[in-house]
Amino acid sequence: MTRPAAPNDPLRASVGELLAALDARQLSCVELVDAVYERIAHTQPTLNAFTNLRDRERALADARASDARRARGEARALEGLPLGVKDLEDAEGLPTTLGSRAFADAVAERDSTQVARLRAAGAIVVGKTNTPELGHTAVTKNPLFGATRNPWNLERTPGGSSGGASAAIAGGVVPIATASDGGGSVRIPASCTGCFGLKPTFGRIAQGPGELWNIDHTSVQGPLTRTVEDAARQLDATCGPDASDPFSLPAPERPFAASLDELRRAGRRLRFGFSPDLGYAVVQSDVADAVEEAALVFERLGHAIVPIAGGPPEPGREWSLLGAFEQRSKLAPWLPERREAFGRAYLEGVERGAERMTIERWHAYRVRRREIHDWCAALFEQVDLLLTPTIPYDPPPARGPLAAEVEGRAQPPANIGSFTMPFNLSLGPAASVRAGLSRAGLPVGMQIAGPRLADALVLQAAFAFERERPWHPHWPVERSDD
């Protein structure tokens, strides 16, 4: 079931609606932050979206300061908006547990670059959102905090690894949250919960300070929000270079939020490639139907839809092994003294995968990545953007497993990322928009992928789709409302 968000329900509002209400003094920052803490307390027993909370009085003090800035006419871009921070990145004064007992008391001494920029834009950190142990899977559960649940169906996962963020956004807990994506960890949760998620071009949001770089430069930070405009506003606040990240990109000349309606204003017509399976994925039939129907929205808007036969090589087993190898390398300083603190299943899986990552497999991965890059480069010479499903089937159970049976065929855990992983390897932007609902009443995501640096175009296409098929008014009804 869904319902329109009530005008007097600020926790279901978009960022733009909240900022308008704050500007008009229909709502104060103190009232908003206080309501978020009440909402967290109400939803934690069911959603379990948060891990650690910031002291409420400190957050309210920040809210009072934001109200004072607003009264002086000095409001910043996100002034007074409560923010959830994924528990894989630092927020000063809060533990960065990485979803692991091994780091339960690892209190951050400073903010990540992304969090610092969001605070500088006026956002108020209220707490950390849940993630699987070290973000290593697409089901958000861990031995320290347990499983996070999907607001659309509490028996299902909100995805991972940014599952706490997606549950908090879809569940009407916070209006903005940070997320990250190394193989689909923004887009998969966005699809599972019907939110909007953007994996920006690699380097668009600077990572750091002091963060060890991903071995193959596939992991990025990005917004996971209720609307496309919300994501654009958040990206405007966080993008741009930083001396701590040599891969960080310059900020665009024009803000992302200011150019969202550019396709309509300029009368530009795009060529959208459409692939139902990338040539290899097995897709649940009702998911495939929903995405194909959603893609036709662009045709009705006057754009061309170009069927794409085949696809890139599958990312392959080598990438999974490389991920395990990298995770194992991160654990190296801690294992001698903290081995027993790591989840057994997590550690066994990582060590088993790392042992299998041979020189030959590393070479095979490099060859396959080059082939994927070349396929994407050739594709985006023919079309402007590519449309695919975001994930091939309904969100898995809240406690797993990720393995599934689709159309009578067994699917290994990695197949949930069949559509998302190639665009981490291409380094280009990719977003997930809500295409509709499956037969089970669960959100279906459509991925919009583009060439490197085409973040603005991906956002513009997503905005055009959202204008025709607005999903924002419709969110899951709590069981207590039935």
What pLDDT does 316 receive? 78
Backbone angles phi, psi at 271, to 5 degrees: -105, 115
User: How many whole angstroms from its chain centre is CA 393?
Assistant: 18
Residues 427 and 112: their CA atoms lie apart, in Å, by: 22
Q: Is the pLDDT of residue 162 over 70?
A: yes
* Residue 68 vs residues 22, 72, 120, 216, 296: alpha-carbon distances, Å: 12, 6, 16, 45, 48
Render 182-241 in DSSP notation, one character per residue: SSSTTHHHHHHHT-EEEEPPTTSB---SSPPPPTTS--EEEEEESSHHHHHHHHHHH-B-
183 confidence band (pLDDT: 50, 70, 90): very high
- pLDDT digits 0-9 by tens, 262-296: 999 999 999 999 999 999 999 999 999 999 999 99
Q: Is the pLDDT of residue 385 over 70?
A: yes
What pLDDT does 318 receive? 87
Percent of the chain with pLDDT over 90: 91
* 249-263 average pLDDT score: 97
Radius of gyration over every alpha carbon of the chain, rounded to an integer in angstroms? 21
* 47-73 average pLDDT score: 99
What pLDDT does 480 receive? 41
Chain-wide mean pLDDT for the chain?
A: 95
Q: Is the pLDDT of residue 228 over 80?
A: yes
Length of the chain: 482
* 162, 89 contact by CB (below 8 A): no
* 385-403 average pLDDT score: 97
479 confidence band (pLDDT: 50, 70, 90): low
- pLDDT digits 0-9 by tens, 72-127: 999 999 999 999 999 999 999 999 999 999 999 999 999 999 999 999 999 999 99
* 229, 218 contact by CB (below 8 A): no
Q: Is the pLDDT of residue 216 over 90?
A: no
Q: Is the pLDDT of residue 347 over 90?
A: yes
Indicate whether this model's pTM tops 0.75: yes
Task: Name the token pair of 275.
Answer: 């692939």
What pLDDT does 210 receive? 75
What pLDDT does 267 receive? 97
HSE, side-chain direction, 13 A CA sphere, residue 115: 28
Catalytic residues: 86, 161, 185
Domains of the chain: 14-317+358-481 (3.90.1300.10)
What pLDDT does 376 receive? 98
- pLDDT digits 0-9 by tens, 297-346: 999 999 999 999 999 999 878 888 999 999 999 899 999 999 999 999 99
* 386-406 average pLDDT score: 96
* 348, 375 contact by CB (below 8 A): no
What pLDDT does 478 receive? 72
Q: Is the pLDDT of residue 3 over 50?
A: no
The dihedral through the CA atoms of 344, 350, 353, 354 has a sign that is negative
HSE, side-chain direction, 13 A CA sphere, residue 331: 28
- pLDDT digits 0-9 by tens, 8-25: 688 999 999 999 999 999
Dihedral of CA atoms 57, 61, 63, 64 in degrees, nearest 10, equals 130
Strand partners, 125: 83
Residues 158 and 364: their CA atoms lie apart, in Å, by: 33
Task: Name the token pair of 332.
Answer: 């190296």
Strand partners, 273: 306, 386
